[in-house]
């Protein structure tokens, strides 16, 4: 459970840094995401989730 909370904190920190460093770029990215087809967003979400699980697996087994 502590790992989940730490991961959420890290995600918030990275997102905050991106918004602080590149506000216009993040606004543009959010606009593009909001206007993308749902199927495309779903595929990107699934791929991102699989990559994330893969990274976690690699770190837990080889780190």
Q: Give dist(CA 50, CA 60) in Å, integer.
A: 15
pTM: 0.73
Q: Give dist(CA 44, CA 37) in Å, integer.
A: 11
* 18, 26 Cβ separation under 8 angstroms: yes
Count CA atoms closer than 13 A to 30's CA, side-chain side.
9
Q: Kindly report the number of other CB atoms within 10 A of residue 7's CB atom.
A: 12
> Does the pLDDT value for residue 63 go beyond 90?
no
Q: Each residue of 3-54: pLDDT tens digit?
A: 889 999 999 999 999 999 999 999 999 999 999 999 999 999 999 999 999 9
pLDDT bucket at 1, cuts 50 / 70 / 90: confident
Query: How is residue 53 written in tokens?
Result: 């699980």
């Amino acid at each position: 459970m502590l790992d989940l909370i730490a991961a959420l904190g890290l995600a918030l920190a990275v997102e905050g840094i991106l918004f602080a460093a590149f506000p216009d770029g993040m606004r543009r990215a959010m606009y593009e995401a909001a206007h993308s087809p749902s199927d495309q967003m779903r595929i990107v979400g699934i791929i991102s989730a699989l990559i994330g699980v893969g990274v976690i697996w690699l770190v837990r087994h080889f780190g």
